[in-house]
Amino acid sequence: MDKNNEQKSIKTPENKQKQDGMKPWLKLLPAAAVFAAVCVTCYQADKAPVESIQVADNNLMSTDDIKKIISVKNLEWKLHLRTTKLLQKRHLRKKTKKPVK
């Protein structure tokens, strides 16, 4: 058994060169797997039928209308924040007040 272990542990220069030659290819293995997965996915997407949907309502809005909607929503949000802060302050005041005897 010792002879077998010794023979396995001894590396010949030929085996070492073969192993060194394989290292760069082993580093490329994950990239090759990703490339293959992308190719398969694209191939399957090309074979699948494409569904098209028509939109009945295709009204366009002007930028002014969009700006108005955004500003109104922004004001609503600011008002909501203010009222929330006021309610929190009132709640804290009620907690901090000492009860009257």
> What per-residue confidence (pLDDT) applies to 35?
94
What tens digit of pLDDT does each residue of 10-68 get? 556 566 666 677 787 888 999 999 999 999 988 887 776 767 777 666 677 888 888 88
Distance CA 75, CA 68 (A): 11
In angstroms, the CA 37 to CA 30 distance is 11
CA distance 101 to 92: 20
Positive or negative: CA dihedral 60, 65, 71, 75: negative
Please give the structure tokens belonging to residue 77.
Answer: 């949000």
pLDDT at position 94 over 90: no
> How far, in Å, CA of 33 to CA of 80, rounded?
52
Q: What is the mean pLDDT of residues 1-7?
A: 56
